[in-house]
Amino acid sequence: MKNGYKMGVKNYTTIIRLILGHWAGKLSEPEKKELDSWLKQSEKHRIYFQKWCDDEQQDKLLAKIGCYAPQADWQQVVRKRKMRRNRRWWLGTAASIAILFGSLAVYRYCEISVSIPLASEETHIYPGKRMARLITPSGEAVLLDTLRQTEIQQLKLHNDQGRVVIQATCKDENQGKPIYHSLEVPRGGEFSFLLPDSTTVFLNAESCLRFPEHFVPGSERIVYLSGEAYFDVKRDPGSPFLVCLEHSAVKVTGTCFNVRAYPGDMSEATTLISGTVSMGIGATEQWIVLRPGEQGYYDASRKTLSQQTVDVNYYISWKNGVFAFYRQPLEEVMKTLERWYLFDTHYQDEALKSIIYTGKINRHASIREVLHTFELMNELTFDIQGKEVIVRRK
């Protein structure tokens, strides 16, 4: 770039400070020259600068700072802004905030990431949305996205404020083989629902949960999961809740936990939020007991089961509209994004797959905002071609 101005993390923070200082009228002559030099470097720089000229766009950009700033400090700034209506005062204060909080910086191993939007360009890749379908034992499919209320075979389904409630219409206890239905969420989807026992389930993209049309009191409540789900299990000590995965199983009586077990992955992970769960491998009868804040981890390549203490927020934030990654290889990160945004990834260099990333990203941000977050690591650049994302080294 001109003048050797390499746009790394530190320089992005500097540029925001310069832009805010410009509108506050507080730039020194050297700072004005620095900002002018940056604006002349590319059209993208000038478009980004213009975003700060628009009141509505400026509020959105400042909100990005607020979302990731230390909460107590940021609330103090918000209160000051309400007290002071002078725009130049606010922008001058914001210029200092950008330095003080440092929340606009995106480091390769930091916990917090904030994307800086690129110029708007046409793309055919969009964030996922709420969608699912119910598959009956006979193969009949019912779309649940816009469902209000229906009865199908032995089930009654109705929409309760965006969450589908599933109830058994037949109270007779089936003493024979349980009849299972499947609730499927495709790539680019997510869905929440209540099982017949009032257990709440959040199902992530490209996931499927098989469940019986009713649970028999006094017997195990057995479901089968492929993919990722968050469970808030209705407590019933007399009827343990069992989640069966491809290699392992999770048993509880009433608790909140997240399970990730996608086909093809070489691992299965159970992260406990509250209560107590047991995770085991049936073939070896090896079981471990997890406490809140712990994760059980099955390594399929080694056929081993282990546990560790983790920050649970990195494993449950997806259901709250946030992607959160902790020291994950780029290849795993991109697989997660592929399931949500519906694209395929190609790497110019296979070594790029192993780059480690830690950060948090808005799950409903545009694909360009998301990819630009990774570009701030100063090692990568992305090209979008139709439904393909090409990863290159800078």
- The span from the CA of 310 to the CA of 316, in Å, is 12
pLDDT(321) > 50: yes
pLDDT(58) > 60: no
pLDDT(192) > 50: yes
- Structure confidence at residue 382 (pLDDT): 93
- Domain spans of the chain? 2-101, 129-315, 322-393
Between the CA of residue 122 and those of 340, 346, 366, 369, what are the distances in Å? Answer: 18, 20, 11, 13
Instruction: Please state, for a pLDDT cut of 90, what percent of the chain lies above it.
Output: 47
The arithmetic mean of pLDDT across residues 291-314, rounded, is 94
Going by pLDDT thresholds of 50, 70 and 90, the confidence category of residue 394 is: confident
The model's pTM: 0.70
- Structure confidence at residue 99 (pLDDT): 38
Q: Which range is most confident: 33-37, 80-84, 152-156, 234-238?
A: 234-238
Going by pLDDT thresholds of 50, 70 and 90, the confidence category of residue 23 is: low
- Structure confidence at residue 122 (pLDDT): 54
- Structure confidence at residue 2 (pLDDT): 39
Handedness of CA 170, 174, 177, 183 (dihedral sign): positive
- Structure confidence at residue 152 (pLDDT): 79
pLDDT(48) > 90: no
Q: What is the mean pLDDT of the chain?
A: 79
The arithmetic mean of pLDDT across residues 61-74, rounded, is 44
Q: Which residue has the tokens 């480091």?
A: 107
- Structure confidence at residue 249 (pLDDT): 94
List of residues 6+ apart from 331 with CB closer than 8 A? 353, 354
The arithmetic mean of pLDDT across residues 37-55, rounded, is 72
pLDDT(318) > 80: yes
pLDDT(3) > 60: no
Nearest to 341 by CA among 317, 316, 320, 361: 361
Q: Model confidence over 98-154: pLDDT tens digits?
A: 433 333 333 333 333 333 344 344 578 999 999 999 999 988 899 998 878 788 777
List of residues 6+ apart from 129 with CB closer than 8 A? 188, 189, 190
The arithmetic mean of pLDDT across residues 357-381, rounded, is 87
- Structure confidence at residue 307 (pLDDT): 95
177 versus 259: which is more confidently predicted? 259
- The span from the CA of 166 to the CA of 128, in Å, is 23
Q: Beta 207-212 vs 200-203: how paired, if at all?
A: unpaired
pLDDT(262) > 50: yes
Question: What's the CATH number for 322-393?
Answer: 3.55.50.30
Instruction: Please state, for a pLDDT cut of 70, what percent of the chain lies above it.
Output: 73
Q: Give yes or no for a contact between 213 and 136, defined as CB atoms under 8 angstroms apart.
A: no
pLDDT(232) > 60: yes
The arithmetic mean of pLDDT across residues 173-184, rounded, is 80
Q: Which range is most confident: 70-79, 280-289, 355-364?
A: 355-364
Going by pLDDT thresholds of 50, 70 and 90, the confidence category of residue 320 is: very high
What is the second-level CATH architecture of the domain 129-315? Sandwich (2.60)
